[in-house]
Amino acid sequence: MAELFILIPGRTSRQGTTLNEGKSTEGYLEEIGTLQVAPEDMQRLELKEGDLVRVFNDVGTITVPCKASRGDELPPGMLFISYGDKSSRLMGGDTQGCGMPDSKCLDVFLEVAAG
């Protein structure tokens, strides 16, 4: 059953360096396409590194591999993904009249992807 999480898309060092190697490189695509989950949530949901998870909200759905975040970087209930194509698929077009779509702290559901 899907659980509600808060997703933070953001910048990482690896995203910045691999961006310069090219947006179609394996390193860049892996960096923007891997979801970080708090170790406690990984354990509770019996997830292991590389397991595919489905993340969705009323805007879109992405299916990505997951991995545990470093140490206590993420509190339980929070997810992180490098900002890019995948995270933007969960971003709506509405900017509430300010020009900026909700791009961080997105409410999303997460469930283990079938298969």
Partner 1 sequence: MSTSEASLATEGSPEIRVIEDATCTFCGCVCDDMDLTVEGNRITKAKNACGLGKAWFLNHHIEDRPEALIDGEPAGYEQAMDRAAEILLAARFPLTYGLSDTTSEAQRVAVAITDWIGGIVDTTTSVCHGPSGIAFQGVGEVTCSLGEVKNRADYVIFWGGNPAESHPRHFTKYSLMPKGEFVPNGRKDRTAVLIDVRKTKSAKAADHFLQVKPRRDFELAWALRALARGLELDSSIEETTGISLETLHEVMDGMKRAKFGVILFGMGVTMTRGKHLNSEAILALARDMNEHTRWNAKPMRGHGNVTGADNVVSWSTGFPFGVHLGSGFPRFNPGEFTASDVLARGEADAALIIASDPMSNFSQPARDHLASIPSVVLDPKLSDTARTASVAFTVSTYGINTGGTVYRMDDVPIPLRPAFESPYMSDLEILRGIESRIRQRQLAEPASDA
* Shortest Å, Cβ 72 to partner 1: 6
- Pick between residue 47 and residue 82 the one whose CB is nearest to partner 1: 82
- Pick between residue 43 and residue 95 the one whose CB is nearest to partner 1: 95
- Pick between residue 8 and residue 113 the one whose CB is nearest to partner 1: 8
- Which residues in the 27-56 window bind partner 1 by CB under 8 A? none
Region of 97 on the Ramachandran plot (φ > 0 left; ψ -120 to 50 alpha; else beta)? left
Would you state the structure tokens that stand for residue 33, as one six-digit string?
């396409």
Contact status: 58 vs partner 1 (CB under 8 A) = no
Whole-number Å distance between alpha carbons of 54 and 96 = 27
Whole-number Å distance between alpha carbons of 80 and 103 = 12
Contacts of 67 (CB under 8 A, 6+ apart): 34, 35, 36, 37, 49, 50
Using CB under 8 A, list all residues that contact partner 1. 6, 8, 10-13, 16-23, 59-60, 71-75, 78, 80, 83-85, 88-89, 91-105
